Amino acid sequence: MTDAVGTAAHLTAAPARRGSAAALRLRAASEYVVIPILAVVAASLIFALFLLALGKSPAAFLDLLWIGGFGSAFSWSNTLSRAAPLILTALTVAIPAQLGLTIIGGEGALVLGGFAAAALAVPFVGSGAPAAVVLPLMALAAVAAGGLWIGLAGLLRLKRGVNETISSLLLSYIAIAVTLFFIEGPLRDPASTAKASTLPIGAAYAVGKMPFLKVHWGFAAGVVAAALLGVLMSRTTFGFAARITGGNIRAAQAQGLPVGKLTLACCSLAGAAAGLAGFFEVAAVQGRANASLAAGYGFTGILVSFLARHNPFAILPVAVLFGGLAAAGGLVQRRMGLPDATVLVLQGFIFVVLLASETLYGRFPVFRISGRQGRA
Amino acid sequence: MSAHLAIVLTAMLGGAIRVSTPFIFVALGETLTEKSGRINLGLEGTLVLGAMLGYATAYETGSPWAGVLAGGLAGVALGALHGLLCSLPRVNDIAVGIALMTLGTGLAFFFGKPFIQPEAPHLPSVPLADWTGDHALAEALRVNPLFFVGIATALAMAWAFRNTRVGLVVRTTGDSAAAALAMGIPVDRVRVLATAAGGFLAGVGGSFLSLSYPGSWNEGLSSGQGLMAVALVIFARWSPIRCVGAALLFGAAGALGPALQSVGVTQGYYLFNAAPYVLTLLIMVGSSSSVDAHRAAPGELSITR
The answer to whether the CB atoms of B110 and A167 lie below 8 A apart is no
Predicted confidence at residue A11, as pLDDT, reads 46
The distance in angstroms from the start CA to the end CA of chain B is 48
Predicted TM-score (pTM) of the model is 0.88
Listed by start position, the domains of chain B span 2-296
pLDDT bin (cut points 50, 70, 90) of residue A16 is very low
Positive or negative: CA dihedral A26, A27, A32, A38: positive
pLDDT bin (cut points 50, 70, 90) of residue A222 is very high
DSSP string covering B230-281, please?
Answer: HHHHHHTTT-HHHHHHHHHHHHHHHHHHHHHHHTT--TTHHHHHTHHHHHHH
DSSP string covering A263-291, please?
Answer: HHHHHHHHHHHHHHHHHHIIIIIISS-BG
Predicted confidence at residue A2, as pLDDT, reads 43
* Half-sphere exposure (Cβ direction) of B99: Cα atoms closer than 13 Å: 30
**CA-CA distances (angstroms) from residue B117 to A154, A283, A347, B124, B218?**
42, 36, 26, 21, 9
pLDDT, chain A, mean: 88
Please, what are the averages of pLDDT over each run of 10 residues along chain B (305 residues)?
A: 74 84 94 94 94 94 94 97 93 90 94 87 81 74 89 96 94 92 93 97 94 82 83 89 91 78 72 84 83 79 62
- CA torsion, ordered A225, A228, A230, A233, to nearest 10 deg: -120
Choice between A22 and B56, residue whose per-residue pLDDT is larger: B56
pLDDT greater than 80 at residue A107: yes
> For a pLDDT cut of 90, what percent of chain A falls above it?
60
* DSSP letter (8 states) at residue A199: P
Spatial separation of the C-alpha atoms in residues A328 and A260, rounded to whole Å? 43
In chain A, what residues touch B228 (CB-CB under 8 Å)?
170
Listed by start position, the domains of chain A span 1-56+338-376, 75-326
Q: What is the ipTM of this complex?
A: 0.89
Q: Contact at 8 Å (CB) between A93 and B94?
A: no
* DSSP letter (8 states) at residue B39: -
pLDDT bin (cut points 50, 70, 90) of residue A372 is very low
For an interface test with A, give the residue of B39, B41, B93, B110 to mutate (most A CBs within 10 A): B110
- Looking at residue A6, its amino acid is G
Predicted confidence at residue B301, as pLDDT, reads 82
Predicted confidence at residue A369, as pLDDT, reads 65
In chain A, what residues touch B96 (CB-CB under 8 Å)?
352, 355
Predicted confidence at residue A302, as pLDDT, reads 94
Q: Contact at 8 Å (CB) between B30 and B230?
A: yes
Spatial separation of the C-alpha atoms in residues A74 and B174, rounded to whole Å? 54
Give per-residue pLDDT as tens, A150-170.
Answer: 999 999 999 888 889 989 999
Choice between A177 and B270, residue whose per-residue pLDDT is larger: A177
For an interface test with A, give the residue of B277, B292, B304 to mutate (most A CBs within 10 A): B277
Distance from CA of A39 to the nearest CA of B (A): 14
Predicted confidence at residue A295, as pLDDT, reads 87
Q: Contact at 8 Å (CB) between A331 and A67?
A: yes
Predicted confidence at residue A364, as pLDDT, reads 84
In chain B, what residues touch A333 (CB-CB under 8 Å)?
none
Q: Which CATH architecture has domain A75-326?
A: Orthogonal Bundle (1.10)
Spatial separation of the C-alpha atoms in residues B133 and B128, rounded to whole Å? 11
Give the helix/strand (H/E) hosting B77: helix B64-87
Size of interface A-B (CB pairs under 8 A): 139
Residue A155: closest CA among chain B residues belongs to which residue? Answer: B285
The answer to whether the CB atoms of A355 and B92 lie below 8 A apart is yes
Q: Quote helix, strand, coil % in chain B, to nearest 5.
A: 75, 0, 25
Asked if A341 has any chain B CB less than 8 Å from its own CB, the reply is: yes
pLDDT greater than 70 at residue A1: no
Which of these ranges, A12-21, A47-56, A255-264, has the smallest mean pLDDT? A12-21
Helices within chain A (DSSP H only): 21-53, 58-70, 73-97, 106-121, 131-160, 164-184, 218-235, 237-247, 249-254, 259-280, 297-307, 312-336, 342-356
- Fold of the CATH domain B2-296: ABC transporter involved in vitamin B12 uptake, BtuC (1.10.3470)
Distance from CA of B244 to the nearest CA of A (A): 20
Predicted confidence at residue B304, as pLDDT, reads 53
Predicted confidence at residue B141, as pLDDT, reads 78
Predicted confidence at residue A371, as pLDDT, reads 47
Spatial separation of the C-alpha atoms in residues A197 and A118, rounded to whole Å? 10
Which of these ranges, A26-30, A43-47, A362-366, A369-373, has the smallest mean pLDDT? A369-373
pLDDT bin (cut points 50, 70, 90) of residue A8 is very low
